[in-house]
Amino acid sequence: MVGTISPVVYGAATLSRWSWQISIYALSQIAGAVVTGVVLGTLGVLLRMVQVWDISQLLAPLGIVAAFAALCDLRMLRVRLPSRNWQVPQSWKRFPPSVMAACFGFIIGLGVITRIPFASFYFVLIACVALGSVPAAVVLLALYGAARAGAVALIARGQAFARNPHERLETMARLGPVIGYLDGLGLALFAALLLGQATPFHF
pLDDT tens-digit profile of 86-133? 777 777 778 887 888 888 889 888 888 887 878 888 999 999 999 889
Q: Where are the domains of the chain?
A: 2-197
Q: How far apart are CA 197 and CA 6, in angstroms?
A: 43
Q: What is the mean pLDDT of residues 177-200?
A: 80
pLDDT of residue 165: 55
Could you tell me which of 74, 48, 37 has the C-alpha nearest to residue 130?
48
Q: What percent of the chain has pLDDT over 90?
A: 24
Confidence band, pLDDT 50/70/90 cuts, at residue 183: confident
pLDDT of residue 203: 47
User: Which amino acid does the sequence have at 71?
Assistant: L
- Cβ within 8 Å of residue 26, ≥6 positions away: 105, 146, 149, 150, 152, 153
pLDDT of residue 64: 92
Confidence band, pLDDT 50/70/90 cuts, at residue 10: very low
- Tell whether the model's pLDDT for residue 82 goes beyond 50: yes
Q: What is the mean pLDDT of residues 171-191?
A: 76
pLDDT of residue 38: 96
Q: Is the dihedral of CA 117, 118, 122, 128 positive or negative?
A: negative
Under a CB-based contact definition with an 8 Å cutoff, are residues 126 and 19 in contact?
A: no
What's the pTM?
0.80
